[in-house]
Structure 1
Amino acid sequence: MTRPTPQTRLPPYVVGFYLVPEFPMMAFASAIEPLRAANRLRGEKLFDWQLYSRDGAPVRASNGIDINVHGAIDDEAAVDLLLVCAGTRDANPGDAAVSKWLRGLARSGTALGAISLGAYVLARAGLLDGRRCALHWESLAAFAEQFPRVRTTTDIFVVDGNRHTCSGGTTGLDMMLHLITERDGRALANDVSEQFIHPRIRGAHDSQRMAVQNRVGVANNKLIAAISMMETTNEDPRPVHDIATDVELSARQLERLFAKYLRVSPSRYYLKLRLDRARSMLLQTAKPILDVAVACGFASASHFSRCYRTLYGHRPSDERAALLGTRAPASRSRRH
């Protein structure tokens, strides 16, 4: 792309943010602050921004802080890029007015995008059909089930034509550094990155999750390999002795490694992985409890319910009921 010279400097590139109640503050700040920093470092207004809410009233973030906005969805949005920032999958459920507004922006040529779970809002409006989309790793399965026409990815951010999506957290910083690079050069993007003590501008395809060894805090290659196998076989759990054989250990040796580094048995660690995945599915999808149980390797709903209650202190049905606001789950037992 040819970058403008001082004599041909373009007007500021305007980014709009549509804030949904309970939007994640970190994700929002990670996207808007790089624009401010770029302006300050360059000494001119390269970027501008406008904030919108459903009715023009302040919007409360997930941390309880209210953010003032510039306008409502029925106001004219003179922006180059409009990003929807949301933190729950139920954001604007069935809101025809929001969908109509977004589709109108798309027809006018405005680029659209989403931060964190703002992708749900765009997808409900049909604005991600056939597009690649980045989404938080916890929400990928539920989103793909609800919106099969959207091409979900595990990338930290995606730019697919005039659709820009990032998976939340700090990934908005990387997506905006990509935008700054495209418009004003890598040198400025590097300077902005360093301002935020962000030592490396991540590429779109970087992993959302930490490597196993960093997540569990161990460096034993055999143990890491065993855990990796467990994480990829939740639906069809394998006997622990088979996993031990695959990492060239005896079952007793694998038991000792888990006891030494994680203070838990391999079978209990494996069970907790499956139950954690089940809990995520209960909270993120509408799958029946039996289907969740089967997807996480349990032979029956009753066995699943017993194991779930032992770990979390309440039944899967209580978890689902609490999500729907009909019942509070019991206190959790200590996790092992």
Structure 2
Amino acid sequence: MTTANQSPIPQTIGFLLLDNFTLISLASAIEPLRMANQLAGRELYRWYSLSIDGEPVRASDGLQVTPDAAITIPLALDMVIVCGGVGPSRSVQREHITWLQGQARLSRRLGAVCTGSWALARAGLLDGHEASVHWECLAAMREAHPRVALTTRLFSIDRDRATASGGTAPLDMMLNLIGRDHGRELSAGISEMFICERMRNEQDDQRIPLRHVLGTNQPKLLEIVALMEANLEEPIELDELADYVGVSRRQLERLFQRYLHCSPSRYYLKLRLTRARQLLKQTAMSIIEVASACGFVSTPHFSKCYREYFGVTPRDERLGVAPHAASRHQLASYVPGGMAGVLPANVPELPVSCAILALSQAKGEPTYASVRL
């Protein structure tokens, strides 16, 4: 972990804007950096928005954003985050691919939000890495880029790659990265400033509509899952579920294996444990009450199933202890001042990061420098 006391030099992040990028994902990624600077009372992070030629880029809602610089400007970046949105397969250009590959050769960390993972995958920069992408793009990306270990999680941090699905998921990813850089107190303070109910972690999945996964040609399976979701406290036996929808137990098993890639009992258990996780994080119910509300006959059995599935006990989940597996996702160590080496002497005038202006304006805020690092 790198702290501000170890290095006064801020980390510099470039946000590459693709045509039709989603503004909410861009804002969700940048605003935590702004607030980190404000609460720390110093510039921990600076950022630049980038496009191929420096010209305005239109977001998915029609608004245009004028970037700080073109990708041809040799900025000393520590990390590059690709911001995608609608139609990533049409938005990714050859210039994007070439530039991203060049950034990888310079050992820069790479990330993406919303459908920006498509650009990294097109450049061959996610092969062998776990990655997240918005669920609407998930099936197409699996088909087009089979070497990428795609997950349904809100965000994934795998070595020097950090990818987030859409909406507000980039906020959670950035809070986790900031926590690794500067400690949990700072990331918790940012979460409070944004009235964020809780910081989601790498174990949280996207809520993907089952109809999107299955289409409309599996009404029996959709009906069975709806029955499961409506009966978490008192689980229904699989034979009963099969009878309700008029299929045999064997047909039930085949449907789940073919379309959901697991057994019906495993899927039912996942639903109950996911509900338990919500109750642990969002209510004051005791662990015994949570276990009962999710159909577990004993607390030890509940704890065992929970730990096996999430990698953390219910008690530690409530306390905010990270899963044991999280250590293998740690990002590469930060090298102060960028990893590109010394820039040539005859470079164009570099843009000024708007982080400096934002920090200056924040000095009048009561929360300025309220978190000691």
User: Structure 1 residues 10, 210: CA separation in 2 closer, same or farther (over 3 Å shift)?
Assistant: same
User: Structure 1 residues 178, 244: CA separation in 2 closer, same or farther (over 3 Å shift)?
Assistant: closer
Q: Match of 2:137?
A: 139
Aligned equivalents of 1:160, 1:179: Cα separation in 2 = 12
- Is 1:246 matched with 2:244? no
Structure 1 residue 100, shift from structure 2 partner: 1.1
How many correspondences in the alignment? 229
TM-score by length of 1: 0.63
- Is 1:3 matched with 2:3? yes
Q: Match of 1:53?
A: 51
Q: Secondary structure at the match of 1:165?
A: strand
User: Structure 1 residues 199, 210: CA separation in 2 closer, same or farther (over 3 Å shift)?
Assistant: farther
Match of 2:112 among 111, 114, 117: 114
Structure 1 residue 249, shift from structure 2 partner: 6.8
Q: Secondary structure at the match of 2:138?
A: helix
Structure 1 residue 64, shift from structure 2 partner: 1.5
Q: Secondary structure at the match of 1:83?
A: strand
Match of 1:180 among 178, 181, 187: 178
AA at the equivalent of 1:109: S
User: Structure 1 residues 210, 127: CA separation in 2 closer, same or farther (over 3 Å shift)?
Assistant: closer
TM-score by length of 2: 0.57
Contact 1:225 1:247 in 2 (8 A): no
Q: Secondary structure at the match of 1:90?
A: helix
AA at the equivalent of 1:200: R
User: Structure 1 residues 229, 136: CA separation in 2 closer, same or farther (over 3 Å shift)?
Assistant: farther
Contact 1:226 1:244 in 2 (8 A): no
Q: Match of 1:190?
A: 188
Structure 1 residue 227, shift from structure 2 partner: 3.2
Aligned equivalents of 1:250, 1:124: Cα separation in 2 = 46
AA at the equivalent of 2:38: R
Q: Secondary structure at the match of 2:89?
A: coil
Q: How large is the RMSD of aligned CA atoms in angstroms? A: 2.7
Aligned equivalents of 2:176, 2:73: Cα separation in 1 = 29
User: Structure 1 residues 116, 209: CA separation in 2 closer, same or farther (over 3 Å shift)?
Assistant: same
Pairing of 1:72-151 with structure 2 (within 5 A): 72-87=70-85, 88-93=87-92, 95-151=93-149
Aligned equivalents of 1:105, 1:2: Cα separation in 2 = 22
AA at the equivalent of 2:88: R
Structure 1 residue 226, shift from structure 2 partner: 2.8
Q: Secondary structure at the match of 2:147?
A: coil
Structure 1 residue 130, shift from structure 2 partner: 1.0
Contact 1:91 1:121 in 2 (8 A): no
Aligned equivalents of 1:134, 1:247: Cα separation in 2 = 33
Q: Give percent identity, aligned residues only.
A: 42
Q: Secondary structure at the match of 2:196?
A: coil
Q: Match of 2:304?
A: none
Aligned equivalents of 1:250, 1:98: Cα separation in 2 = 53
Q: Secondary structure at the match of 1:45?
A: coil
Contact 1:244 1:250 in 2 (8 A): no
| Deviation beyond 6 Å, 4+ runs, structure 1 | none
Aligned equivalents of 1:134, 1:175: Cα separation in 2 = 11
Q: Which has the higher contact order (CA 8 A, sep 6+)?
A: 2
Contact 2:15 2:47 in 1 (8 A): yes
Report which stretch shifted further, 72-81 or 104-113. Answer: 72-81
Q: Secondary structure at the match of 2:207?
A: coil
1:51-84 Cα deviation digits (max 9, x unpaired): 1011101111111111111111222132111000
Structure 1 residue 225, shift from structure 2 partner: 7.8
Aligned equivalents of 1:148, 1:251: Cα separation in 2 = 35
The runs of 5 or more residues in structure 2 that have no matched partner are 211-221, 230-236, 247-258, 260-373
1:85-142 Cα deviation digits (max 9, x unpaired): 011232434x322211111111111111111111111111111111111111222111
Q: Match of 1:236?
A: none
Contact 2:135 2:208 in 1 (8 A): no
Pairing of 1:301-320 with structure 2 (within 5 A): none
Aligned equivalents of 1:131, 1:244: Cα separation in 2 = 36
Contact 1:245 1:251 in 2 (8 A): no
Contact 1:20 1:91 in 2 (8 A): no
The runs of 5 or more residues in structure 1 that have no matched partner are 213-223, 232-242, 253-273, 275-336
Q: Match of 1:160?
A: 158
AA at the equivalent of 1:105: Q
